[in-house]
Structure 1
C-alpha cells in the first residue's frame, strides 16, 4: 500500500500525547447537558459511541467557562468545581474504549441571542453590534478581562482534574477570543487593541492562565479562523491569522485547528444546502431574535436559503484554501476542519502537506463510527450536507436530522445493539 494511502492512520503527536490516527471529531454543540450545565446520561452516551467507533481524538462541543459566556441552552459548563464529577463521567466513558478527548473551552462574547439563554448583559472586546442577532455588547473593562482570563484557567484545571487529555481554546468563528483578535470587533486603544501583537494579548493571557494550572506537559491547542470572511468589514485574511497563530505557538500552544468565519459571515463554516437548516433555526434559536429580525428572516427565508445554497455549496476540504499560510509559519501540527467526507480527500490533504490532520463534525453526527468505516473501507450512514443538524444546534440534541440518513443510523445502531 502506498504511503499516501496510509498517512491518515499513522500516529501524530500533540504536545506529549500520541494519537494513533489523524481523523478527529471536531467540536459540535451537543445540546445534551442539563439546563444548569451538568453532564447527563444522554451526553455521556453521545461521547461513548464516538469512542466505540475508534475515533482517535474527540473534541467536545464548547464548554462555557462562566455563565456569562454561555451561548446556548443545555450547554455543559466547567464554571464550578461541582461540575468535575459529571465531566469525569465523560472521560471515563471515552477512555474505557481507548479514546482520547479534549475539552473545548469558550466564552461566546457578543455572539448570543440574550433571550435564548436568559442573558441580562453581553460583553465583548468593543461595543460593536452583531449584525445577525442585533445584539449590542458592552466593551469589557480591564478588570473584567482579567476575571475571564482567570475563569478560563480554572475551567482548564477542572477539565484536567476530570480526566480530559487536553483542552482546546476556542478562538474561531467569532466567539470572544476571536472578537479580540479581529479589528472589526476589537476597536480598543489600550493594551488589548490596535496592533496584531496587542490583539493576541487576551488569548496569550488565557493560555498563560491555563498553563499555570495544568502545567507545561498537558496538551493545549487552539481553534482559529483561516479567514474571517467578513466582506466590507475589517476582518483578517489568512496571512494575518497565520501570524497570530505563530505568536500563539511561541506562547506555548501545541496545535492549531483551522476553521472559518463569524456568525455575521453566513454559512462558510458548514457549506452544503440550507433549506432545512433555516427552517429548523426559525423554530429554535432564531425564534428568540428581536421581533423585526425574526419577521424579516421569516419573510425572506426562501430567498436567504436560495442565496446561501449558491454562495456556500458543499465542497470537501474547503478550509485547505487557508492552511498553506499556517503550514509555512508553524512547526506545531495544523488540523483542518471543513467538509471532509472521503478517505481519498483526507489522505491527499495530508500527503500534499496542506495539514497534518483533519477533523469533521457533521459526518460523526450521521455516523458515530465514521472513523472506523473510513479506516476499514466499510459503508455507513453518509452525511449529505443538508445542515438540518446545524439548524437545530442549541435547540435540539446534536444528531442527524435528515430522514433517510437518520433511518440508516438508527438501523445501524439497532443492529449493533446500541439503539
Structure 2
C-alpha cells in the first residue's frame, strides 16, 4: 500500500522536523484556573490529542497580558510564576509523540468588557457586537514596545517550559490583525498608513521573539488571507506580508481568515461528496488563497478550515503544494482521526450520518440574518468548547449532540461571567 502523503515528515527552516503533515490548529479551551494557569484538564485534553497521532498540536491562544484576555478561562503566561504547570502541559501534549507549540496572542479590542472596559488597540475603532466589547484606547509608543516585549517573554517561557515551538497569532481580528487592517489601524505615525507601517508591529514581534528563543526554535505565524470586509486587509497585502515574514525567518505560516465581525474562520463547512474537484475546493475554504500566497515562497504553509475528507487532505499536500493540513473542530469530536487518516483507515471526519458537519445545522442556521445568526455562531463555538471540556475530564466527546443555541449561549455567558468574577481579585491587584 502506498504511504499517504499525510505521513511524510515536515522539515522546517530552523532545522526541526515535524513527524507528519497533520496539525491540530488552535481552539480556545477556556480551561484555565482562577490564577490563569494551565490546569490538569489541559494536560488530559492535550494528552488525548497527542495519542490521536497529529504531528503538531497548537494550543489555544495563550495571553501575553493578564489584563487582556480573549475570554475568561484563557491561560496567561506573562512571567514564570506558573512555570511548573506550563511544563506539565507541554509534557502531556508530547505524550503520544506530537510536537506542541504555544500560540501566543493579545486580543486587542476583542477583549470582552467584563475583562477590560477600555482595551488596547492601534486606534479607537470600537467592535460593534451586541455591546459586549468596550471602546478601545489607542496604544502609545511605550505600550507598543511593552506588548512586543511581552510576546518575546512569553515565547522564552514557553521554550523554557519544554514547548517545541510557538505560533504568533496574527489573524482573526486580534491585536496583530488589528494593526494589519486599515479598518482598525487609523494611525498616522510609523505604525499605521502604508502596508509597510501596518506590518511593522507583526514584524517587530517576530524579530523580538526570534531574539528571545534563538535560531533553532520553531516560530510560526497565523495570518489572515483576508479580513473579508470592505476596506480591510486584502489577499494582495497578505501575499506581501508573507514574503516579509519569510525574510524575517519564520518556520511555518498558517493561513486563515476573518475577524469577530466577519467570522469566515468560524463558518467553514463541507459537503459529503469529496470526490469532485469543486467540492474539494469548497471543503478547504482557504486553499485557493493559500495557493496564491505560496507563489514564490519557500516557507511551509499550513491551511486550516473545512477539511473533512482524507482525499481532500491528501490532494492538498500532493497536488497543491500545501505543507500541512490543519484540523480544529473535527478533532473535538474525533480525537483519534489523524492516526486513521494517515493509515488510510478513515475516509472522512466530523460528519454525521446525515452528511452534516457536527456542531452545524443544529442551532437554527436558517433563521433570518442578524442577532439570531450571531447567537447560532456562538452556539457552534460552544458546542466544540463543551467537547474539549469533556475530554479534559477524561470523558468521550458527544458526537451526536443535539444542543440548542439558547442553552449553549447561556452556558457560555454564565461560565464566562463566573470565570471573570473568579479572577477579579487578581485583576484588581494588577491594576494597583
Q: Report the TM-score, using the length of structure 1 for normalisation.
A: 0.81
Distance across 1 between alignment mates of 2:198 and 2:245: 12
Give 1:46's aligned residue.
Answer: 45
- SS of residue in 2 equivalent to 1:159: helix
Q: Is the 8 A contact 1:23 1:360 kept in 2?
A: yes
Q: What's the counterpart of residue 382 of structure 1?
A: 350
1:391 to 353, 377, 382: 382
Alignment gaps of 5+ in structure 2: 271-280, 352-356, 361-378, 403-432
Match of 2:63 in 1: 64
Q: Which residue of 1 aligns with 2:223?
A: 224
Q: Deviations over 1:79-116 (max 9, x none)?
A: 1211221110011112332221000000000112212x
- SS of the residue 1:180 aligns to: helix
Deviation at 1:179, TM superposition (A): 0.3
Distance 1:329 1:236, change over 3 A: farther
Return the match for 1:239 from 236, 250, 259: 236
Once residues 380 and 42 of structure 2 are traced to their aligned partners in structure 1, the CA distance between those partners, rounded to angstroms, is 16
Map residues 157-176 of structure 1 onto 2, 5 A cutoff: 157-176=156-175
Report if aligned partners of 1:167, 1:221 keep a CA contact under 8 Å in 2: yes
Distance, in Å, in 2 between the alignment partners of 1:194 and 1:264 is 22
Structure 2 counterparts to residues 13-24 of structure 1, below 5 A: 13-14=11-12, 15-24=14-23
> What is the Cα-based RMSD across aligned positions, in Å?
2.4
1:341 matched to 2:308: yes
Partners of 1:89 and 1:217 lie apart in 2 by: 22
8 Å Cα contact 2:252/2:302 also seen in 1: yes
1:403 CA drift (Å): 5.2
2:253 aligns to what? 256
3-state SS of paired residue (1:263): coil
Given the superposition, is the C-alpha separation of residues 95 and 80 from structure 1 closer, same or farther in structure 2, using an over 3 Å criterion?
Answer: same
**Structure 1: which 4+ aligned runs deviate by more than 4 Å?**
392-404
- The SS at the match of 1:69 is coil
Confirm whether residue 11 of structure 1 aligns to residue 2 of structure 2: no
C-alpha separation in 2, matches of 1:394 and 1:359: 18
Deviation at residue 357 of structure 1 after TM alignment? 1.1
SS at match of 1:27: coil
1:352 aligns to 2:319 (yes or no): yes
Gap change, CA 1:381 and 1:352, over 3 Å in 2: closer
Shift of 1:349: 1.2
SS in structure 1 of the partner of residue 129 of structure 2: coil
- Alpha-carbon distance in 1 for matches of 2:74, 2:333: 21
1:138 partnered with 2:137? yes
Query: How many residues align structurally?
Result: 361
The 10-residue stretch of structure 1 (390-399 or 87-96) with the greater mean CA deviation from structure 2? 390-399
Q: For residue 312 of structure 2, give the secondary structure of its aligned residue in structure 1.
A: helix
CA contact (8 A) 1:104 1:170 kept: yes
Secondary structure at the residue paired with 2:322?
Answer: coil
Change (3 A) 1:45 1:256: same
TM-score, length-scaled by structure 2: 0.78
Correspondence 1:179-198 to 2 at 5 A: 179-198=178-197
CA displacement, residues 312-357 of structure 1 (integer Å, 9 cap, x when unaligned): xx94101112112211132100110011111100111122224211
Q: Is the 1:30–1:393 contact (alpha carbons within 8 Å) kept by the matching residues of 2?
A: no
Tell me the CA shift for residue 126 of structure 1.
Answer: 0.7
Residues in 2 aligned to 1:114 and 1:356: alpha-carbon distance in whole angstroms: 39
Greater share of helix:
1
Shift of residue 26 of structure 1? Answer: 0.2
Q: Which residue of 1 aligns with 2:125?
A: 128
Render the CA deviation track for 1:177-222: whole Å, top value 9, x for unaligned. Answer: 0000111111111111111111111111111221121111110010
Q: CA, structure 1 residues 229+399, in 2 after alignment: closer, same or farther (shift >3 Å)?
A: farther
* Aligned residue in 2 for 1:93: 92
Structure-2 residue corresponding to 1:405: 400
| SS in structure 2 of the partner of residue 322 of structure 1 | helix
SS of the residue 1:246 aligns to: helix
